[in-house]
Amino acid sequence: MRLTQHLRDLGLTNAQVKQALSTGKVSYRGIPTGDGGREIEPAQVHYSPNATRLTPGRDAALIHRDDDIAVVWKPAGLLSVPARKEGGHRSVTGLVKRICGSAYPVHRIDEQTSGLLVVALNTRSQKHLKDQLFEHTVERRYLALVHGAPQRERWRVENTLIRDRGDGLRGSRKSEDEPEGKRALTHFAVLATLGRRATLVQARLETGRTHQVRIHLSEGRHPVLGDPLYAHAAARQAAPRLALHAALLEFEHPRKGSRVRFEAPLADDLERLRRQLLSSPHATRPERRGDKKRTKRSGRKKRRR
C-alpha cells in the first residue's frame, strides 16, 4: 500500500495529506517522511498533527533522546560535526547541543550521506561508545545504490586504506612501498536489482575508515551512484547526490548495558531514485555520441515514408 492511500484511509483529505507530508507530521518506522509514493506497512506509519514542524529530507530529526545519548536522522548536506568552512557551524552535534544542552561526537558520516548518527550527552557515554567502536562491537549498516550488477550475492572486502593513492584521493594500499595505512573491512550483500544498470546493496562495516564503503565499492567496479570522488562519469551523473544511507545502528547503551537498535528506511530522495531505476531499465545508461543523430536520421526516414 502506498503511503498517500493509507493516509486517505485514516480520513485525511488530499489537501491534508499533502500538508501533513510536507511539514513532518508523518513518520515511517520512526523517521519523518514526505514521500507519499513509498510502499509502506500501515502499522509502521505514525501520523501526528501536533508534531514539530519540519521539512522531511531537509531538516535533521531527533528520533531518540535519554539522559546519555541522542540519536539523530541526518539529511544529506548537513555536517556531522562543526567545520571551519563557510557554514560549518551547522552540524548534527550543534543541533543536539541546542536541544539537549550538551553534545559530544562519537562518530561521523559523510556530509552527503543521509541516515543515523548517535551523539553522546556526557563524556562518560562518549568514552563508552567510542570504546565500542574501537572494539568493533557497534553494528553499522549502510544502504547504497550502486552502478552495475555485482556477480556475487554476498562478498567481503578487506584491505589497507591510505590517505593518498597517488591522485590526492584515499584508496587501497597496492604495495609495500606505499605509506602505511589502516585496515578496513566491509561485508556486502545484494538486496535488489534495479533495472539493468543499478543495484541496491547493503554494506556492513566491521571497521569505520573515512570513505570506506565508497572506496571498496568503487575499487570493486560498482561505485555508489552520485559519488563525486570515486565514481566514473556514468555513475556520478546517475544520481543528484551521493546515494549512500546510514540505515542501521546497534550498540550497547552506555548506562543500561542492554543492546539498543535504531533503523531508518531509505531517505525520501533515494527511495524515489530507487523506484525510478526500477521502472526505467536504462536510467543509468549515459547518452552515447551519435544517439541524437541516429534519432534525427530515423525521424527523417519515417517522414520520407
Average pLDDT, stretch 27-33?
A: 97
pLDDT at 213 over 60: yes
Dihedral in degrees, nearest 10, Cα atoms 55, 58, 63, 69 = -140
CA 96, distance to chain mean position in Å, is 20
pLDDT at residue 86, as a whole number = 67
Query: Facing residues of 187 across strands?
Result: 156, 204
The C-alpha cell 533495472 sits at 195
Q: Please list the active-site residues.
A: 110
pLDDT per residue as tens digits for the range 232-291: 999 999 999 999 999 999 999 999 999 999 999 999 999 999 999 998 755 444 333 344
Question: Between β-strands 26-28 and 31-32, what pairing exists: parallel, antiparallel or unpaired?
Answer: antiparallel
Nine-digit cell at 167?
Answer: 591522485
pLDDT at residue 175, as a whole number = 74
C-alpha–C-alpha distance, residues 132 and 126, integer Å: 10
What are the structural domains of the chain? 57-304 (3.30.2350.10)
pLDDT per residue as tens digits for the range 94-140: 999 999 999 999 999 999 999 999 999 999 999 999 999 999 999 99
288 three-class SS: coil
